């Protein structure tokens, strides 16, 4: 700031500043009290954002305390999730509404603050709308993700024609996370100039001071280089904060406010020695509150802060409604792929593209995101049909997933695709989306080892185990936290995508590179938890999913030729109702052989866990048994990793000869 | 460079340029031929780095073609892994040695190039030292990871007192990955000025042109803002490349060379239309080779390029040797934690710190990395004892894991720690480390739900399923690709860490926040695939791991009081030899109840898969059955997610009453 500017600032009426300081101090005291009462939490990080929270929540943000679900509201994403006690304190002071839904909302009170982190409290340890705090759009606390949430919210607002600002409060140490820079690029690419990132630079991490790479001047230089309009301010100067926030939107760029803040602001014993992640003792609390009062007097903090935030127009989120697709044949014709009807062959990844276009026709909430591989995942078919609803995320999967979760929070139905291998970049982001109960569809193409020549750096083999771990978990409403769809042919792929669009929560679609023959009639129906019997036999039951179903069917034919008739099941989804498979197995020698093109922990584990409870049916598995490498064909790799046609044949023969 | 040196360089005969062009063209032809012969690959991306590869591999890099294992050599990390045909072509032209080890090395020949991507070839689809190409240190191909590998190699070189340069070739589109920026920060933080990042800016991604955020000028501005010494050059101008590479090391900064390159350089039909990831047809190949020859004539490319790379001093990597730790008691005293001996209580995360210090005493190869949570993971105990071998990675887990893999490639034994939840940030990086067969130890603290109050954003619950998927996979030498250690008490934790230091490949340690009582004698021994029986009974067999073992033991006591005597097993590692558990179960009613503080896919799946093959023993599981939330105590959360003491009691009672 120039000396003149400082002088001007000093001349501004003291009342605004005075009131803001008074409110910040009041909220700091709430924060200290609630964390001491709770016995855990991060008061010092929260104190650092006191003045920023006051200016945003009492003055700047256009929102409706009585209706946090109003889609016309400005939004606040607290990327630095552990600072949340400050937001809770402000929201309680203001009496903002909390609750799981509009029908059971009630105003939060200051008395509620003591319940932070309790099992039955809406005030979870870190932000989480799913526990009843709808002021937030997404769970945060795993750092570096908030700016991506903000980007997703901003994209959704643009699609809905809503003018609103999205504020993301980001920590300085947190900005070490690569995802922050993925989001910074993405926001610029998509000209999301309504996004305002506010960096709270308190210069302390958990284990020590932040690196010189994360000092305010470094963050400012980086954000400038990334194309943002940057303002550096004192994060405890109410006037500076107001001025900076009011300048947001003036430039044809997104805004970054780099605010120098103080960890443990206002409380001597929390300063300078990196007081992190612990509450004060009861004695310390009294001393600290007295100290804050003294600080207030020094700052002339006497005025009452009034709530002057503007109100948004009333608005209502669209009610969810079922989406129904046309026939597969019509949908193929729609995208000019009639030839597949003659060939009776199409890769499941192409069928995904076909379905996505059909979904786009059926419902305007459908949006697609991709990470520079849309011509491999075939989300480019959707891009061709609905350019305004397709979002190129470039090679940055973490941001893609979290931006998708942000769009879901705003009522969109996002499909985010990349190679399944690269989806693994965003596992923690997917975890956070699940915690948010985001209605997110993730699509991994080129999954398993069937892509052959490209080698293991492009092959997803742990993905099924990871996603399956969530399929047996209740999301709190009786539904699985995740559904996996792993279709074997284009018709089932088409219908699985339709199912995904209608299921809430996380769905994961696993598609494959090679073309796959039609296995089903066009009018075949598929369901969550379902499976399909493709072949009947009396000696053994083969179960597979995805591309491997074709290999299993070939093996079954060869086995039949050798006198061993096998059931063959297509386990196209997890979680799976195993009873039809067990019933068939009981009529066919009581043995099941599961074949998968992934590491263990998938369908084999699913059936083994169910079977082991009774011991009635025996379950064996052939899963990828070694780290894969390149080879010319899918069959060669299958063979190399122990799941080739001959290996299925041999194992089946062994099992039926026992 | 001094002005005199620059002048000398300028006076170099033009033949250098001529020869470099000639060699680049020769290599481009190899690249086109080998990819056409293989029927897949990314020739156009490879052509873009032709001149860079020539200058590095024929002139600049100090390395030994006959001994790629020599630790004194400069290293090249091809972050943009799909450009690998160019490196293969140069290395074959030079006759560099390939092979799985020094004893079976042989020079690569130009004839070998046609075998690229074949099952038995050392030339995998993307770089992978583990398949017999030791010129590389790590598998790449999942983008954005190479600069972190380079950082790890540079750290290891510094520890070993070796002066060498590490070159990382990074793509422009690739630099969208956040990890690139995590690595950029890390290299500056640790003053790894011997790292030289060369960006190949061909301005094309896979699905379209790169974003304006990834244009050469944008990358240059960003790298400057991140504190690098930046040079922008024409990436097909041999003199410019030489000059830029020779300037590396002149500044007290790491160097970024931002090279404008041409995708499909020299071949008209590959230019301008984003020719990506496909080889030429045979006819196109002939035309392209003729065109390259014509380009060569235009450029006066007639000279023979000679190999003038300097030779490093001969050197040998240290042979692996066993590491043995002192007694747990002595190790506790070493770090001043004698009090734990009286309390007979210590969190497993603290025991990890104790073991890590003991390892540091025992072997200088032990290094530790942490992501700004060393005072939570207790790697700060190692930092206190061995500051020079501790590397603070700040809040950037992706870079931490890959830098660890880089250090492992240079013979170090890295332990990389963070909250288990945040380890999920680096799943793809761990996958790549496994493909590299990196000797990497990953440590996740605060795992499961026992941390209570902080809530789900800090709780790892899918981690066991993910890591277990790799435990049943052969690394190619008969060993599991991964071992999980999930100790229940500090003594077993201490010994598990000792095991990890001695096991090759990936190991994952899961530690917990709360203090845990001693369950074992100080001289108890633990083994890979082992488990421990903690209690004998005749009615049921309880199996658990980690902190839950204590809950299981308490439940067993209560069950005993009610007349139901249970076996209790501590399944402290996966993969697991289940036979001792099954044997005990057969003597105790044939039923097993597994209790885990994670989502399904862990010990329950392990035992169910084994049991379901015979049906002899029944296996049931209680795993985290809903998305967790904050609560005041571990017990409250256990109860909320279905794995509380009472729930174990009830399920056990139900099973024994059947």
- A474/chain B closest Cα distance in angstroms: 4
Whether residue A139 contacts residue A169, with contact meaning beta carbons closer than 8 Å, is answered with no
Report DSSP state, residue A588.
Answer: T
- Test A427 with B432 for CB contact under 8 angstroms: no
- Test B612 with A618 for CB contact under 8 angstroms: yes
B570-589 average pLDDT score: 98
Reply yes or no on whether the pLDDT at B163 is more than 90.
yes
Whether residue A174 contacts residue A79, with contact meaning beta carbons closer than 8 Å, is answered with yes
- pLDDT at residue number B320: 79
Whether residue A238 contacts residue A51, with contact meaning beta carbons closer than 8 Å, is answered with yes
- Test A612 with B629 for CB contact under 8 angstroms: no
Q: What is the DSSP string of B479-493?
A: SBSEEEE--SSHHHH
- pLDDT at residue number B78: 98
- Test B611 with A607 for CB contact under 8 angstroms: no
**pLDDT tens for residues B513-526?**
999 999 999 999 99
Q: Which residues of A touch B131 (CB under 8 A)?
A: 629-630
Report DSSP state, residue A65.
Answer: T
Residue of A nearest to B80 (CA): A457
Reply yes or no on whether the pLDDT at B286 is more than 70.
yes
Please tell me whether residue B421 adopts helix, strand or coil conformation.
helix
* Alpha helices, H only, A344-480: 348-362, 374-377, 380-385, 397-409, 420-423, 427-435, 463-471
CA distances from A515 to A497, A511, B579 (A): 18, 11, 43
- List, in order, residues 6 or more apart from B103 with CB less than 8 Å away: none
Q: Which residues of A touch B394 (CB under 8 A)?
A: 173, 176, 205, 210-211, 213-214
- Backbone dihedral angles phi then psi of residue A512, each to the nearest 5 degrees: -125, 155
Q: Which residues of B touch A208 (CB under 8 A)?
A: 372, 392
- Find, among A470, A473, A462, the residue nearest to A431 by Cα: A470
- B114/chain A closest Cα distance in angstroms: 12
Phi-psi region of B452 (alpha: psi -120 to 50; beta: other; left: phi over 0): left
Suggest the residue from B36, B178, B274 to mutate for an interface test with chain A (most A CBs closer than 10 A): B178
Whether residue B401 contacts residue B442, with contact meaning beta carbons closer than 8 Å, is answered with yes
Give the A:B interface size as CB pairs under 8 Å. 415
- Find, among A66, A575, A44, the residue nearest to A315 by Cα: A66
Question: What span, in angstroms and rounded, lies between the C-alpha atoms of A638 and B435?
Answer: 17
Q: What is the ipTM of this complex?
A: 0.97
Q: Which residues of A touch B213 (CB under 8 A)?
A: 185, 188-189, 226-227, 394
- Test A621 with B640 for CB contact under 8 angstroms: no
**The pair of three-digit structure tokens given for residue B252, joined into one six-digit string:** 């007290």
**pLDDT tens for residues A536-591?**
999 999 999 999 999 999 999 999 999 999 999 999 999 999 999 999 999 999 99
* Angle formed at CA A187 by CA A186 and CA A191, multiple of 5 degrees: 115
E-strand ranges in A503-570 read 506-510, 515-517, 532-535, 540-544, 566-570
Angle at which helix A14-38 crosses helix A84-94, to 10 degrees, equals 110
Nearest 10 degrees: Cα torsion A492, A497, A501, A502:
10
- A53/chain B closest Cα distance in angstroms: 22
- pLDDT at residue number B319: 77
Whether residue A263 contacts residue A44, with contact meaning beta carbons closer than 8 Å, is answered with yes
Question: What span, in angstroms and rounded, lies between the C-alpha atoms of A127 and A169?
Answer: 13
Question: What span, in angstroms and rounded, lies between the C-alpha atoms of B348 and B55?
Answer: 51
- B605/chain A closest Cα distance in angstroms: 6
Reply yes or no on whether the pLDDT at A5 is more than 50.
no
Confidence of residue B304 (pLDDT cuts 50, 70, 90): confident
Question: What span, in angstroms and rounded, lies between the C-alpha atoms of B117 and A633?
Answer: 10
- pLDDT at residue number A318: 74
The burial class, CB within 10 Å (0-12 / 13-18 / 19+), for B533 is middle
- A129/chain B closest Cα distance in angstroms: 12
Residue of A nearest to B142 (CA): A457
B29-51 average pLDDT score: 97
Q: Which residues of B touch A617 (CB under 8 A)?
A: 612, 615
Question: What span, in angstroms and rounded, lies between the C-alpha atoms of A246 and A43?
Answer: 28
Question: What span, in angstroms and rounded, lies between the C-alpha atoms of B108 and A118?
Answer: 64
Reply yes or no on whether the pLDDT at A7 is more than 80.
no
Pairing of strands B532-535, B366-370: unpaired
E-strand ranges in B423-494 read 441-445, 482-485
Largest Cα–Cα separation, chain B: 94
DSSP 3-state percent helix, strand, coil across chain A (nearest 5): 45, 15, 40
Question: What span, in angstroms and rounded, lies between the C-alpha atoms of B380 and B357?
Answer: 10
Suggest the residue from B473, B611, B614 to mutate for an interface test with chain A (most A CBs closer than 10 A): B473
Q: Using the CB atoms, write b or e for B91-130: b if 16+ within 10 Å.
A: bbbeebbbbbeeeebeebeeebbebbbbbebbbbbbbbbb
- Test A424 with B428 for CB contact under 8 angstroms: yes
Report DSSP state, residue A590.
Answer: T
- pLDDT at residue number B140: 98
Known catalytic residues of B are 397
- A607/chain B closest Cα distance in angstroms: 9
- Find, among A438, A513, A510, A425, the residue nearest to A467 by Cα: A510
Q: Which residues of A touch B207 (CB under 8 A)?
A: 370, 372-376, 380, 392
Q: Which residues of A touch B481 (CB under 8 A)?
A: 627
- Test A131 with B624 for CB contact under 8 angstroms: no
**pLDDT tens for residues B86-98?**
999 999 999 999 9
- Test A600 with B614 for CB contact under 8 angstroms: no
Whether residue A496 contacts residue A572, with contact meaning beta carbons closer than 8 Å, is answered with yes
B277-302 average pLDDT score: 94
Q: What is the DSSP string of B390-427?
A: EEE--S-HHHHHHHHHHHHHTT-EEEEEEEHHHHGGGH
- Test A466 with B126 for CB contact under 8 angstroms: no
Confidence of residue A15 (pLDDT cuts 50, 70, 90): low
pTM of the model: 0.97
Residue with tokens 């073992």: B549
- Test B372 with A174 for CB contact under 8 angstroms: no
- Test A617 with B615 for CB contact under 8 angstroms: yes
Reply yes or no on whether the pLDDT at B10 is more than 60.
no
- pLDDT at residue number A366: 98
Nearest to B457 among A38, A224, A435 (CB): A435
- pLDDT at residue number B15: 57
Known catalytic residues of A are 397
């Amino acid at each position: 700031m120039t000396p003149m500017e400082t002088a001007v600032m000093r001349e501004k009426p003291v009342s605004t500043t005075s009131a803001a300081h008074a409110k910040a101090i009041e909220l700091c005291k709430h924060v200290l009290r609630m964390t001491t009462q709770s016995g855990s939490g991060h008061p010092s990080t929260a104190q650092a954002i006191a003045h920023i929270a006051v200016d945003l929540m009492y003055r700047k943000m256009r929102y409706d305390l009585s209706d946090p679900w109003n889609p016309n509201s400005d939004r606040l994403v607290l990327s630095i999730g552990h600072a949340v006690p400050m937001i809770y304190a402000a929201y309680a002071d203001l009496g903002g509404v909390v609750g799981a839904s509009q029908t059971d909302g009630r105003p939060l009170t200051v008395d509620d603050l003591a319940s932070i982190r309790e099992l039955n409290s809406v005030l979870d340890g870190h932000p989480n709308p799913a526990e009843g705090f709808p002021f937030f759009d997404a769970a945060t606390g795993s750092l570096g993700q908030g700016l991506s949430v903000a980007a997703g919210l901003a994209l959704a607002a643009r699609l809905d024609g809503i003018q609103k600002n999205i504020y993301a409060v980001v920590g300085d140490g947190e900005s070490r996370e690569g995802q922050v820079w993925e989001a910074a690029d993405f926001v610029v690419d998509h000209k999301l100039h309504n996004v305002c990132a506010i960096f709270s630079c308190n210069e302390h991490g958990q284990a020590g001071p932040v690196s010189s790479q994360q000092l305010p001047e470094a963050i400012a230089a980086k954000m400038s280089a990334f194309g943002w309009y940057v303002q550096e301010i004192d994060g405890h100067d109410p006037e500076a904060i107001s001025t900076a926030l009011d300048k947001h939107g003036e430039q044809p760029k997104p805004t970054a406010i780099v605010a120098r803040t103080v960890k443990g602001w206002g409380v001597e014993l929390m300063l300078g020695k990196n007081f992190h992640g612990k509450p004060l003792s009861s004695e310390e609390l009294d001393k600290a509150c007295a100290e804050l009062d003294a600080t207030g007097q020094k700052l002339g903090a006497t005025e009452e802060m009034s709530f002057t935030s503007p109100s948004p127009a009333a608005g209502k989120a669209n009610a969810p409604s079922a989406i129904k697709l046309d026939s597969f044949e019509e949908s193929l014709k729609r995208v000019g792929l009639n030839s597949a009807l003659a060939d009776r062959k199409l890769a499941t990844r192409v069928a995904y593209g076909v379905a996505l276009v059909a979904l786009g026709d059926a419902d305007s909430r459908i949006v697609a995101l991709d990470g520079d591989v849309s011509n491999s995942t075939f989300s480019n078919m959707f891009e061709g049909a609905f350019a305004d609803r397709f979002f190129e995320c470039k090679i940055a999967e973490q941001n893609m997933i979290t931006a998708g979760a942000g769009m879901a929070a705003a009522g969109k139905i996002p499909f985010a695709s990349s190679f399944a291998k690269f989806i693994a970049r965003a596992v923690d982001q997917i975890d956070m989306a699940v915690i948010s109960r985001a209605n997110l569809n993730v699509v991994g193409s080129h999954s398993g080892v069937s892509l052959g020549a490209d080698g293991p750096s492009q092959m997803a083999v742990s993905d099924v185990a990871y996603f399956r771990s969530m399929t047996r978990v209740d999301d709190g409403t009786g539904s699985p936290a995740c559904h996996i769809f792993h279709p074997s042919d284009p018709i089932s792929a088409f219908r699985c995508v339709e199912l995904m669009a209608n299921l809430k929560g996380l769905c994961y679609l696993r598609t494959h590179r090679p073309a796959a023959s039609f296995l089903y009639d066009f009018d075949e129906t598929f369901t969550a938890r379902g499976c399909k019997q493709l072949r009947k036999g009396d000696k053994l039951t083969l179960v597979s999913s995805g591309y491997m179903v074709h290999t299993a069917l070939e093996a079954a034919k060869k086995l039949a030729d050798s006198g061993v008739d096998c059931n063959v099941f297509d386990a196209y989804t997890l979680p799976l109702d195993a009873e039809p498979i067990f019933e068939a197995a009981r009529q066919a020698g009581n043995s099941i052989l599961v074949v998968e093109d992934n590491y263990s922990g998938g369908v084999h584990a699913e059936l083994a866990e169910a079977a082991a409870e009774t011991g009635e049916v025996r379950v064996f598995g052939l899963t990828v048994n070694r780290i894969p490498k390149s080879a010319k064909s899918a069959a060669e790799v299958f063979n190399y990793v122990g799941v080739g046609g001959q290996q299925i044949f041999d194992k089946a023969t062994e099992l039926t000869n026992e």
